[in-house]
């Protein structure tokens, strides 16, 4: 079953992500064909605030590799 996930990224990670079709994340039961809504957030006075920038992607592959830190996966993405 295809699911949709929401993931907050700080400004630098969000900007880095927008230039690539992959991201390394801690595994959150994300599977191929799932959708992820990435939200850019900033921390202001210890409170998380959305900046209003979003990016919707579909996961094409979930790659688990021994070269990655435990519980982390490489996701290849199709930007929508």
**pLDDT tens sequence across 18-75:** 889 999 999 879 999 999 999 999 988 888 899 999 999 999 999 998 889 989 999 9
Q: Where are the domains of the chain?
A: 4-79
Q: Which CATH architecture describes the domain 4-79?
A: Roll (2.30)
The 10 Å Cβ neighbour count of residue 53 is 14
Give the integer Cα–Cα distance in Å for 39 and 37. Answer: 6
Give the pLDDT band of residue 7 (cuts 50, 70, 90). Answer: very high
Strand duo 35-44 + 47-63: pairing:
antiparallel
Determine the pLDDT at residue 16: 87
Determine the pLDDT at residue 75: 95
* 57 closest CA partner among 69, 73, 40, 75: 75
24 vs 20, 28, 42, 49, 72, CA distance in Å? 11, 12, 20, 23, 7
């Amino acid at each position: 079953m295809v699911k949709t996930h929401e993931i907050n990224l700080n400004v630098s990670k969000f900007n880095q992500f927008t230039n690539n079709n992959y991201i390394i994340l801690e595994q959150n039961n994300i599977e191929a064909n799932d959708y992820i809504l990435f939200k850019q957030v900033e921390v202001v006075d210890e409170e998380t605030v959305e900046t209003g920038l979003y990016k919707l992607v579909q996961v094409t592959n979930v790659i688990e590799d021994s070269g990655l830190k435990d519980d982390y996966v490489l996701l290849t993405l199709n930007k929508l």
